[in-house]
Amino acid sequence: MDLIFNSLPLLARGTLTTLYLSAGAIVLATALGVVLALLQLYGGFILRALVEVYLYVVRGVPLLVLLFAMYYALPYANVQIEPITGGIAVIGLYFGAFMTEVVRAAVLSVPRGQWEAARAVGLTTPRILLDVVLMQAVRMAGPPFVNTCIMVVKGTSLVAIIGLADVTYVGKQIVERTLAPFEIFGAVALVYFVICFGLSRLGQYFERRLNYVH
């Protein structure tokens, strides 16, 4: 018990890093997901093809490999970025591909009649997307969006391997000094569980708030 108590300040700092990485990556992935999904659905031939290539590449390469590429390969190309910024960028770009699928499916789930009614009123496509389709897609996207956010939070643990002091990395360091893996990794696991459980509950709350009888 003492052990965990003494480790708390370190674990807390690691947790903050994890939260910071998660929040940054979720924001980036979501923005990317909305833009890429709309380009894929309504962009011209070239834009659609570029998005497809991006999605295939990201889906086909493990997150860890992308992190290694950022951490070890970019310096050779004379690109210097802060590890934490690079971590957010890589995780955000990676999960942006999954968010694209989430947004695309939600947009496509809006019935055709909604488009027709909006067109009949005289709205143009960008306005229809903003006022009618995306407003409804948000509700449809809720559960899979929260799901992807949870994957992002857990995915951030991989940055421990490239030496970023997130809660997983800090836990590993403490275990190496204290030789108490059960207690420390138990605490680390609890941190992830609490964040993800909180996200789930937040998702459920918004789902209820956005609910309307169809």
Partner 1 sequence: MSTDASGSLAAPAEIEIRGVSKWFGEHKVLNGISTDVKRGEALVVIGPSGSGKTTLLRCINLLEEFQEGEIRIGGDAMGYTVDAGGRRVRRSEAEIARMRAKLGMVFQSFNLFPHLSALRNVALGPVRVLGVPPQEAAEQAAALLARVGLADKADALPGRLSGGQQQRVAIARALAMKPKAMLFDEVTSALDPELVAEVLDVMHQLVQEGMTMVIVTHEMAFAQAFAHRVVFMAEGEIVEQGEPARVFQDPQSKRLQAFLKRFKQGYQL
Q: Is the four-CA dihedral 104, 109, 110, 112 of positive or negative sign? A: positive
Q: What single-letter amino acid sits at 177?
A: R
Cβ contact 145:102 at 8 Å: yes
Which position among 3, 12, 49, 121 is part of the footprint of partner 1 (CB under 8 A)? 121
Cβ closest to partner 1, residue 116 vs residue 207: 116
* 123 part of the interface to partner 1, by CB under 8 A: yes
* 194 part of the interface to partner 1, by CB under 8 A: no
Each residue 95-114 as x (binds partner 1 by CB under 8 A) or -, in order, gives ----------------x-xx
Binding residues for partner 1, how many (CB under 8 A)? 22
Size of the chain, expressed as the number of residues it contains:
214
Each residue 124-153 as x (binds partner 1 by CB under 8 A) or -, in order, gives xx-x---xx--xx--x--------------
Cα-based torsion angle of the residue sequence 188, 189, 193, 194 in order, rounded to the nearest 10 degrees: -30
Cβ closest to partner 1, residue 17 vs residue 136: 136
